[in-house]
Amino acid sequence: MSQHPLPNDLHLATLAVRLAADRSQYGENSEALYLTSGYVQPSAEASARRFAGEEEGYTYGRSGNPTVSSFEMRLAALEGSEACLATSSGMSAVMLMLFSLLKAGDHVVYSQSMFGSTLKLIGSEFARFGVESTVVPQTDVAAWKAAIRPNTKILFAETPTNPLTEVCDIAALADMAHNAGALLAVDNCFATPVLQRPMAMGADIVMHSGTKYLDGQGRVMAGALCASEKLIKEKCLPVMKNSGMVLSPFNAWVVLKGLETLDIRMRAQSERAHALALWLEQHPAVSRVYYPGLTSHPQHALSMKQMSNMGGAVLSFDVKAADPQTGRTRAFHVLDSLRTLSLCTNLGDTKTLLTHPASTSHGKLSEDQRQAAGIGQGLIRVAVGLEHLDDMKADLLRGLETL
């Protein structure tokens, strides 16, 4: 039991390290990790009340766990949402949202620049069950509006996007969704609540891959949905209990501890990313840098307004090349010349991770589709970590200076 409940006017920075389920009778200072799949019931009557939903209390691991609850409480506070439900991965959070809110004949509008698995889950898997969908260009507000139909239930946006860091106007999309009687869901993976709080801009649901910045150190898979108490309790929780996309207590504990340093990590990594983007933009072997913090970014003003004047920790750049084949060869050379930074498909780590989108995340697209999406063969994505800026530059120079 928590002998001293927290005051109710604490700042987010304080909640990020303090908010959690009650302490046990041992008074542990660091939140306990409850590795248990079942819970001993105080009495048969109490058990019956818990199963009937008339009394609070844990019953079985698929329905809840105190360590998982701590993570949910803390993330909800940071996102400014009433409630949160943790899931086993970011994609299971998307799955839970769609499964909880849609039925055959419903329609979803979403951006063509979304995370690859999100595109496939909606456009292919849910289509098999009669869910209709329309993909629209990320930044074209008129196209979002034109795509809305009478049966549209969800507008789903991700901002900034991977890997080109395109930004969409959350407040405008929220208005549009509400005028159509639909909900706006935002994948807040890249910005995190440190930079951007979609609920405050009108979003109804915030989705997270906890695998990324929330953990922050590349250790575990995790995900979460933040929304109103009503939406979580009435729509998502029943599906969760019956489908079992639960976050494991161990992973919840890791991500819970990750949230304690989220604020300082995001600020430090954004600062490094900004400096690296400015430097890359000046390099003669680089033709273009994509980063919301640069004044050359097409939505720089919107980004700064929406993302607390920070650009985030992910940037991409094109190596200069006359044709796609040369671009690929040059990008591979830069990646194969790395000795400190990692060639690794993930992001949100304290270690800087680089990828070649055209042959990995966007590898299954045809060359024409890739061109349309702006993912060239010379494109390299950098998810900036916490190494010293000079060492990052030196590692990139190894390849850039020997093209």
b/e for 84-94, b at 16 or more Cβ within 10 A? Answer: bbbbbbbbbbb
Strand 379-383 and strand 353-355: the pairing is antiparallel
Q: Which residue in the shown chain puts its C-beta closest to ligand PLP? A: 90
Nearest to 341 by CA among 378, 383, 381, 395: 395
Chain mean position to CA 258: 14
List all residues 6 or more positions away from 396 whose beta carbon is below 8 Å from its beta carbon: 280, 334, 338, 341
Map tokens 């949202």 to a residue: 97
Distance in Å, CB of 20 to ligand PLP, minimum: 22
Which residues sit at the interface with ligand PLP, rule CB under 6 A? 89-91, 115, 158, 162, 187, 189-190, 209, 211-212, 221, 223
Provide the b/e sequence for 342-352 (b: ≥16 CB within 10 Å).
beeeebbbebb
Please, what is the minimum distance in Å from the beta carbon of residue 373 to ligand PLP? 15
Nearer to ligand PLP, 223 or 327 (CB): 223
CB of 92 to ligand PLP, least distance (A): 7
CB 338 within 8 A of CB 395: yes
Q: Taking Cα atoms as reference points, which of 184, 128, 129, 123 lies closest to residue 152?
A: 184
Cα 200 to the center of its chain, rounded Å: 17
* Least distance CB 313 / ligand PLP (angstroms): 12
Min CB(157)–ligand PLP separation in Å: 11
For ligand PLP, the closer CB: 208 or 330: 208
| Closer residue to ligand PLP in complex, CB, 252/321 | 252
User: Looking at beta carbons only, is 162 or 270 nearer to ligand PLP?
Assistant: 162
Alpha carbon distance 105, 123 (integer Å): 14
Query: Quick one: 100 or 165, whose CB is closer to ligand PLP?
Result: 165
Residue 238: asked if its preceding bond is cis (omega within 30°), the reply is no
Contact status, residue 181 vs residue 154, Cβ threshold 8 Å:
no
Q: Which is nearer to ligand PLP, 134 or 211 (CB)?
A: 211
CB of 60 to ligand PLP, least distance (A): 24
Which residues, listed in sequence order, are joined to residue 136 by a DSSP beta bridge? Answer: 111
Smallest distance, Å, CB 292 to ligand PLP?
A: 14
* Pick 88 or 286: Cβ nearer ligand PLP: 88
Cβ contact 77:235 at 8 Å? no
**How far out from the chain centre does Cα 4 lie?**
33
Q: How far is the CB of 53 from ligand PLP (least distance, A)?
A: 30
Amino acid at residue number 282? Q
Nearer to ligand PLP, 191 or 294 (CB): 191
CB 188 within 8 A of CB 208: yes
For residue 160, say if its preceding peptide bond is cis, omega within 30 degrees of 0. Answer: yes
Residue 118 C-beta: closest distance to ligand PLP, Å: 6
Q: Rounded to the nearest whole angstrom, what is the least distance from the CB of residue 369 to ligand PLP in the complex?
A: 19
3-state class percentages of the chain: helix first, strand second, coil last, to nearest 5: 40, 15, 45
Pick 148 or 189: Cβ nearer ligand PLP: 189
Q: Cβ closer to ligand PLP: 50 or 381?
A: 381
Kindly state the greatest CA–CA separation across the chain: 75
Q: Cis bond leading into 193, ω under 30°?
A: no
